[in-house]
Amino acid sequence: PQNCRGHKELRVCRLYLLQSYGRNLALRQETWQTSNHEQDLNMCGSSNAVDGDGRNKYEFGTCTRTQVEPAGSEWGVRFSNPAVISVINIINRNDQVCPDDTYGVFCEGKCLCDKTEACNFVTGACAPGCPPGLYGFNCSQTCSPHCVPKICNFFSGSCYPCVDGYVGDNCNKECLPGTFGAKWPCLNCSGGCRDICNKTTGYCTCMNGYLGLQCTECVSGTYGETFPCLNCSVGCSDICNTTTGYCGCTDKYTGLRCNECREGTFGTNCQSNCSIGCADICDSTNGVCTCNNQFQGLYCTDPICPETTYGFLCDQNCSCKVTEKCDSVTGACSPGCPSGLYGINCSSRCNKNCLYGVCYY
C-alpha cells in the first residue's frame, strides 16, 4: 500500500501514481484513512483522492478530509499486485494545478519536456507520457489528425502548429471559407481579396486598388485601414500615406489629410472666400457665419443700408416713393404700406405732424 501521513489533518484531492505512458495506478483503487472530518462526513471520504476528479476547492466536495489527530492522520491506497511507479503527484486542497507546460507553486516555471513527456506541475521534472499520437487517461485518446506533426501534449491533447485551415488548442476548429488564422477565433479575409484567402495565412489575389500578401494595403493615391480604400484629398500636394491618408497640403487646405479649408475660405475645393460681412471665420463647408453690424443674411452678404440707400456699400440712393420698399441690394421698389401707416403688418399710424400724413413704411 501507498500511505500518506499528514500533520494532524489530511486534505487530499487527487493522487497520481504514474507508470510509463501516463497510466495512473491509483485510479479507483481501494483506499482508507484514519478518520472522516465531522463537518464533512458526506463528502470527505478517502476514495475522493482516487476518483479521477482533481478539483481542489472545498465547495466541490472532491477531496478527502480527516479529523484533527494529535498523533497525525493517515490515508492509504492498496494494490493487489506490486507495481513500479515512476511519478508520484499529490494534489492537496487549495493547491493550484498549473496549465500545460508550466510548473511551480505559482505556475511560474516553464516546462522543457517533449510533447510525449509528462511535466511534473510541482517540480517541472519530465517523465514518460504517452506514445506519439496518443494522450489522456491510459493514453486512450488519439491526437487530432490536424496536429503538425501528429503528436500532442500527453495530458490535454493540445498541439501546435495545425494543418492549414485548423486552429484551437487541439487543432480541432476549422476556419470557414472567407476566414483564416493560426489561432481561434478565425479572422475575416481582407475585403481587398478577389477570391477566398488561404485559411492559414490569409494570402489571396488582390482586387484592383489593393496590394500586399493579404491585400490589405491601398495602392498609391488611396488610403485606409479597412475596406474599401479611400481617395487621397484633393488638397494634398503630394501622394498621401496609404494607411493614414496624411499628406502635405496645397495653399487653400489644412489638416492632417488636407481636407479642411484654410481660414477665410469654404466650399468645393475651398475656392470661395468668406464674406466681408462675417464677424468671425465662416464655416469651411458652407460659408455660413455670424454677421457684423453692417451685413445680414445667412452668409452675411446682404448690407444693412440706411433708408433711401442701397448697394453693397450703401452708396446708391433709392428712387422709391415713401410708401414703397427699397431693396437694400438692388434698389428695386416694391409696395410698402398704405398711406399713413408703417411698421410690421402696417399696424402703426404715421405721426400727424408728418407732411401729408405720410411716412416711411
Q: Report, as an integer, the average pLDDT of 12-41.
A: 68
Grid cell locating 153? 501534449
Model pLDDT for residues 274-317, shown as the tens digit of each residue: 998 999 989 988 899 999 988 888 889 888 888 788 887 788 88
Quote the CA–CA distance of 215 and 191 in Å, as a whole number: 8
pLDDT at position 1 over 60: no
Peptide bond into 132 cis (omega under 30): no
Spatial CA neighbour of 270 closest among 254, 256, 255, 253? 253
Reported confidence tier of residue 107, pLDDT bands at 50, 70, 90: confident
Give the residue with greater pLDDT, 148 vs 106. 148
Average pLDDT in the chain:
79
Among 160-169, 261-270, 278-287, the minimum mean pLDDT is found in 160-169
Spatial CA neighbour of 273 closest among 257, 256, 251, 247? 251
| R_g of the chain computed on alpha carbons | 44
Distances (CA, A) of 189 to 36, 72, 164, 184, 203: 60, 64, 15, 14, 8
Reported confidence tier of residue 95, pLDDT bands at 50, 70, 90: very low
Quote the CA–CA distance of 146 and 143 in Å, as a whole number: 8
How many CB atoms are closer than 10 A to CB 201?
13
Model pLDDT for residues 199-253, shown as the tens digit of each residue: 888 999 998 888 889 998 888 899 987 778 899 999 999 999 988 999 999 888 9
In this prediction, residue 64 carries a pLDDT of 82
In this prediction, residue 257 carries a pLDDT of 92
Give the residue with greater pLDDT, 355 vs 294. 294
Among 12-16, 65-69, 172-176, 323-327, the minimum mean pLDDT is found in 12-16
Among 14-23, 123-132, 155-164, the minimum mean pLDDT is found in 14-23
Quote the CA–CA distance of 48 and 42 in Å, as a whole number: 11
User: Bridge partners of 260?
Assistant: 254
How many CB atoms are closer than 10 A to CB 38?
10
pLDDT at position 46 over 50: yes
- pTM above 0.85? no
In this prediction, residue 316 carries a pLDDT of 87
